[in-house]
Structures are given as structure tokens and as C-alpha cells.
Amino acid sequence: MIPINLLPKIEGIVVPTVTPLLENGQLDVKGAETLIRHLLRGGVHSLFILGSTGETPSLSVSLRKDLIKAVCRSTNQEKPLLVGISDTCLDVSLELAQVAQTEGAAAVVALTPFFFHLDQEDLYQYYMHLADQCALPLILYNFPHMTKCHLEVDTVRALSKHPRIIGIKDSSGNGVYLEKLLEIKAEKPDFYILTGPEEMLAQTVLAGADGGVSGGANLFPQLYVRLFEAAKAKDWKTMQQIQPIVLEISKRIYGKGGKSYSYFQGLKVAMEKLGICGSHLASPLLRIQPALETDIQSAILEIKEKVNQL
């Protein structure tokens, strides 16, 4: 465990890793190790396992623990590792946090609990209790589209006063909400603001966010690192070169299939076509139709060529 006062900055490209799986639904340990090597070679700034991109709600607790251990071994603290501990059961979250601490993770990340409709007082008490019980720094995770539960700005501001709550990952895609979060950062500069929609990476970094949690970095880590660095440097030319490719990935890889989880289908098929890891999804998610898989294969090879030409 890295002491909070010595924690490296959580900024730049924080990759929300996919969870490589075998056909039987078990963890593909070799695939996970290959993925981590690929990301580290790509120069990403941090790794985030067991987030939404990792299909976490569909994974058993034992598989999640195995993944934490495998990735911690692979990274060997070369880059900060954030571990998702989101669950509807607080005890499970604390159990996962303990494994993350033991294995050497830098921080943990927790979604708002889902299923029950919780008000802001409920959420405040939940996160305070979680932070009190966790030895690791905690990052809030706001994703109302999936959880149906929204962390209001005043609640985030109140929670930011806890010494172990160090930031928020916001996947709402709401620009007004981001502006209000950045007001909290102005009051507390060491409170990290990370944004989810990769299509908005450059825009949010220019606005003052610390970094982006970009699923496409699983495919082309260097591409997203370059976009982040260009945004930080206000290098408009480079941003104009890269942004269309990011949008093309979103449209041609994530936008197939017509399902609410087409993002996961497309991303994993693309990773398989690039030789990074297999494309098996955790039940109940289904593999994409063969015809669409062929489309994605053509798309990812064309996109790879564009990335290589940058």
C-alpha cells in the first residue's frame, strides 16, 4: 500500500481495463498479463481494473479477487493501480478493498450502490462509512446512466473533506456537472477529477479535469496518451489529428449491434482481432453477431493503419 501522502498523481490516461475471460467464464490469467504489458508499453499513466469496462457486475467475487492479484503481480507498482470495489453489498466492497490493499494497489474506486433508490444523505453516509473502513484512498464513481443514482455536487463537496476520499470519476457526460466539480477542485486542488466519456477527453482536460478513463486505450494506449498530452499542452494541431480517430473508434467499434452493451461486444472483438486478448463476455452478455464481427475486424484494421500513420 502506498501512503496517501506519497500517492503518485492520479492523472492522464487511466485505462479502465477489460477483463479477459476464457470460454468457460473463468479468468484468462495469461490474457490479463498480456493486456497489462500492452498497456504499460503504451505509456498509460494509471490502470483501473473492475470498472464498468471490466464487466464487474457480472463477475463473481472470487474472480474479482483473482484479477486483483494477477494484475498487481503484473504491474508490480510500476504504475498506480486503481481497483473497483463496487457492489450492492458493503461487506463485499470492504472485502475487495482489503485484497487490493494487501496486493499493493494505490487506491480503490466505488460506484454509487444500485438497485435501491438512495437519496443524497444515504449516499453520503455510505461513502463516509466506506472511507472510514478502507485503508486505501477512495475515489467516488458517478455513473447515473447505469446505476440510476446521481451524486450531487454538494454531496461530492461534503465527501471531499474526508481525508481518504481523493477524487471522483464522472461518467455522466454532463458538462455543467463537470464545471461544478471543477469548482470543488479549485477549492481543493488535490481532489482529482477524472472523466469517463473518451469522446470528451480533450474537451474535459482543456476545462481542467486531471485525466480521462478511456476504454479505447485498451486498444491503442499511445493514441489516448498523445491526445491527453496534446490537450494539456493546448496543441490544437495534434488534437485535430487525433480526435477524429477517437470518434471513429466510438462509431465503428462501439456502435455496432444495437444493444445497450454493444460497447463491450465491440471492444472485446477488436481486442481479439489485435491479438491482445480473447473476446469472451461474462454472462448474461452475448457475443456480437458474426456479420458485425466481420465489420469490426475491417474497421479496427483500418483504424490501426491511421494510428500508425500519426
What domains can you pick out in the chain, each with its CATH number? 4-234 (3.20.20.70)
How far, in Å, CA of 198 to CA of 219, rounded?
13
Residue 140 has pLDDT above 90, yes or no: yes
Per-residue pLDDT reduced to its tens digit, 123-133:
999 999 999 99
Amino acid letter, residue 74: S
Cα separations (Å) of 153 from 61, 137, 176, 288? 31, 20, 11, 38
Cell numbers 482536460 correspond to: 205
CB 136 within 8 A of CB 101: yes
pLDDT in tens, 76-107: 889 999 999 999 999 999 999 999 999 999 99
HEC profile for the chain? CCCHHHCCCCCEEEEECCCCECCCCCECHHHHHHHHHHHHHCCCCEEEECCCCCCHHHCCHHHHHHHHHHHHHHHCCCCCEEEECCCCCHHHHHHHHHHHHHHCCCEEEEECCCCCCCCHHHHHHHHHHHHHHCCCCEEEEECHHHHCCCCCHHHHHHHCCCCCEEEEEECCCCHHHHHHHHHHHHHCCCCEEEECCHHHHHHHHHHCCCEECCHHHHCCHHHHHHHHHHHHHCCHHHHHHHHHHHHHHHHHHHCCCCCCCHHHHHHHHHHHHCCCCCCCCCCCCCCCCHHHHHHHHHHHHHHHHHHHHC
pLDDT at 189 (0 to 100): 96
Return the minimum-mean-pLDDT range out of 54-63, 177-186, 231-240, 259-268: 259-268
Average pLDDT of the chain to the nearest whole number: 96
Q: What is the pTM of this model?
A: 0.96
Q: Is 224 among the residues known to form the active site? A: no
pLDDT confidence of residue 6: 65
Distance CA 101, CA 206 (A): 33
Q: Choosing from 169, 185, 268, 273, which is the catalytic residue?
A: 169
Selected catalytic residue, list 124, 141, 224, 263? 141
Residue 27 clears pLDDT 60, i.e. is over it: yes
* pLDDT band of 5, cuts 50, 70, 90: low
Checking if the pLDDT of 2 tops 80, the result is no
Distances (CA, A) of 173 to 52, 117, 178, 199, 217: 15, 21, 8, 10, 18
- Please choose, from the candidates 182, 172, 186, 194, the residue with its C-alpha nearest in 3D space to the C-alpha of residue 9: 194
213 is in an annotated binding site: yes
Specify the higher pLDDT residue, 257 or 308.
308
User: Does residue 288 contact residue 269 with C-beta atoms inside 8 Å?
Assistant: yes
- Residues 262-290 have a mean pLDDT of 95
Does the annotation mark 169 as catalytic? Answer: yes
Residue 53 assigned as binding residue? yes
Cell, residue 236: 490544437
Distance of CA 253 to CAs 62, 250, 261, Å?
30, 6, 12
Q: What percent of the chain has pLDDT over 90?
A: 92
In this predicted model, which residue has the larger pLDDT, 7 or 243? 243
Q: What percent of the chain stands above pLDDT 70?
A: 98
Average pLDDT of the residues in 141-152 = 95
For the residues 266-282, what does the mean pLDDT come to?
Answer: 97
Contact predicate 202/230, CB 8 Å: yes
